[in-house]
Chains A and B, each alone.
Chain A
Amino acid sequence: MRPKLGAVAEVLVRLQGVQKRYETTVALDGVDLEVHRGEFFSLLGPSGCGKTTLLRLLAGFETPDAGRIEIGGRDMARVPPYERPVNTVFQNYALFPHMTVEANVAFGLRMKGLPSEVIRKKVAWALELVDLLGLEKRYPRELSGGQKQRVALARALVLEPQVLLLDEPLSALDARLRQDLRVELMQLQRRLGTTFIFVTHDQEEALVMSDRIAVMRAGRIEQVGLPDEVYERPKNRFVAAFLGRSNFLPARPHPLGAETPLGLLRLKEPLGEAGLLAIRPEKIRLYKKDGAPARDNLVRAVVEEIVYTGAENQYYLRAGEVRLLAYTLNQDLQEPGAEEFGYGEEVLCYLPPENLVVVHE
């Protein structure tokens, strides 16, 4: 976890009951949200979940049909985009093609009517910030995707916005570059202390980069929390399935835990009513059929498929009628506890009670 300076979180962006519909579809269906000053906040969800609409409402490109948007304590209802204390990094960069890198970055400062001496200094500062010194006179068409992205970043950051809005800024880049830019973005955000609101459909990106994540679906926010909270304690099936993968088991209350298709499973907290249990594949421990210590929550299963991904082995298991997915870290097999299993092998799965999470449908 990232250390946070200052214990008291100041709310910088506040949304209350924000609604937005386009002709037939509801883009946002009553969103309440608070983003703190200095936070790296991610809006995560599949396409069409309303995350981009939310960002556009914050930027001022769209107006909400209902609800209230505050930035820095100020109601944004009548504030046009060119007067908002936010700037946007667009998904496809949206650089001005007829302007050089320098002119693109200087654009916002020119609109503010700053003296040219000040503009020159700030542009140099911003270009150094994103490591683009020396490319001032290039045109966007002469830049690589990653360089364009940096220009877009510099162009927005040079105005020192209270909130930087990023609309899937890494999605157009190739995988390797994306990884590098992730780290750079995080460092940049920490260095400047600017509040970032980051839209993405990539759960890994959100988990890696964010201080907090809001998971969205169909115009609603399903869960807001720290990355590990959202990952380890998903509130419902959607969140659990969208962030990483999960095994789901229908369960009914039992005096000792829960009654499931895998038999009786002990839980950390008692199950109040019939519901759904979720467990992450990497939380399931696998043992040879005669190698497991005697304990509860052991389930007999057969290996049906093995997927080798390099860092881990993914086992597709069948326990009676139930299919389970379990990951084991691909460690040195000399280490105690590290085992490898073959096709059709009978194994024992241990489902730790503390990792069996109760989720809603």
Chain B
Amino acid sequence: MNEAATPLQRLFRILVTVGPGALWLFLFVLLPTFLVLLASFMSRGPYGELSGPLGFHNYLRLLEAPYLKAFAQSLLLGALTTLLAALLGYPLAFYLAGHPRRDLLLLLLLLPFFTNFLIRVYAWLVLLQREGLVNAFLQAFGLGPLSLYPSFLAVLLASLYTFLPFFVLPVYASVERIDWQLLEAAYDLGARPFRAFLHAVFPQTYPGLFAGSVLVFIPAMGTFVVADLLGAGRVVLIGNLIQQQFGLTRDWAFGAALSVFLMGFVLLSLYFYARLQGERGLEDLV
């Protein structure tokens, strides 16, 4: 392979090595994104097809109250799901990593994925509806019944349930790699347990926290199935709107604008989050 290659040979080598990946990226990432972007500037034709004129009208429509409200609800759901997943998942990851039977526990954590997603969401419906298990249990103590379904709370619960493993797994991976000697070093230098953990162990889990939050926040913001089933029309998220535009309403242009907006928002928040964690982050707060 040392002999001087002709330009043709070089081109061939580049195509063979980088080619397949580049083609894949082009076909399944760049092209669709471009098409969606293009569609977002078009209009709905009389039969629900994409047509002219081009313009920013779809983006201006985003500012109307119902859409802003849907966006706010999505943001709230994404943020709350991520926050609760962190509060539950962070300690859970430590518990798992320290457990002698962690292989088994990890399997249990992933077990729900063996069942269809829709069925699992319906299971929450069974639990939370008026005659459901939760209310039956409460009534046994003379409480309730509570109207848990349909509600934002139900959507939040199911969303948390769905996405929690995506938080636990990356944090678990971080915890497994923790250098515990740093904790001893912190003790040795006079740090009491809480501060020792905060300064010596917590920073080592930043990568897991970051990955976990991203993996939960993004899908939780864009979800629509959970809101459809457990919100039953009361909870309308951006995901639901997008689905409506592409389905029922057949306004693909507006649906594309909604998608682009959601994508842009997520990318932007990721950017700022990454910068926050790239700097020394929470380290100097205490």
Instruction: Give A contacts to B, CB under 8 Å.
Output: 59-61, 80-83, 86-88, 90, 92, 94-96, 98-99, 107-108, 111-112, 155-156, 159
Contacts and interface: CB of A to CB of B under 8 A. Distances in A.
A111 B189 contact: yes
A108 B199 CA distance: 11
B192 A96 contact: no
Given A96-B200, A98-B203, A111-B195, A81 B187 contact: yes
Given A82-B187, A82-B192, 4 more contacts: A81-B188, A82-B189, A94-B185, A156-B188
A90 B200 CA distance: 15
Contacts of A80: 187
Given A82-B196, A107-B199, A94 B191 contact: no
B17 interface: no
Nearest to A61: B184
A61 B189 contact: no
B185 A90 contact: yes
A87 B185 CA distance: 9
Nearest to A112: B190
A96 B188 contact: no
Interface residues of B, number: 19
Contacts of A112: 190
A92 B185 CA distance: 11
A159 B195 CA distance: 18
Nearest to A106: B189
A159 B189 contact: yes
Interface of B: 179, 181-182, 184-192, 195-196, 199-200, 203, 280, 283
B182 A82 contact: no
Given A107-B199, A111-B195, A82 B181 contact: no
5 contacts: A59-B188, A94-B185, A95-B185, A96-B185, A107-B199
A102 to B, nearest CB: 13
A156 B186 CA distance: 11
Nearest to A108: B189
Contacts of A95: 185
Q: Which 10 A-B pairs have the closest CB atoms?
A: A108-B189, A94-B185, A81-B187, A111-B190, A98-B203, A94-B181, A88-B188, A111-B191, A82-B190, A82-B187
Contacts of B280: 98
Main SS at interface, chain B? helix
B8 to A, nearest CB: 44
Contacts of B196: 82
A52 B107 CA distance: 38
Main SS at interface, chain A? mixed
A87 B186 CA distance: 10
A83 B179 CA distance: 22
Contact of A107 (B179, B181, B189, B192): B189
A350 to B, nearest CB: 52
Nearest to B189: A108
A61 B182 CA distance: 12
Contact of A96 (B182, B187, B190): B182
Nearest to B192: A82
A197 to B, nearest CB: 14
A96 B179 CA distance: 10
Nearest to A107: B189
Contacts of B195: 111
Contact of A61 (B187, B190, B200): B187
B203 A87 contact: no
B131 to A, nearest CB: 53
Nearest to A99: B283
B192 to A, nearest CB: 6
A156 B187 CA distance: 12
B181 A90 contact: yes
B58 to A, nearest CB: 44
Contacts of A108: 189-190
Contacts of B192: 82, 111
A107 B186 contact: yes
Contacts of B200: 96
Contacts of A59: 184, 188
A86 B181 CA distance: 16
Contacts of B203: 96, 98
A155 B199 CA distance: 15
Contacts of B191: 82, 107, 111
Contacts of B181: 90, 92, 94
Contacts of A155: 189
B187 to A, nearest CB: 4
Contacts of B190: 82-83, 108, 111-112, 159
A61 B181 CA distance: 10
A320 to B, nearest CB: 54
B160 to A, nearest CB: 30
Query: Which interface residue of B179, B186, B203 has the most chain A CB atoms within 10 A?
Result: B186
A90 B180 CA distance: 12
Query: Which interface residue of A81, A88, A112, A156 has the most chain B CB atoms within 10 A?
Result: A81
A59 B189 CA distance: 10
A112 B189 CA distance: 9
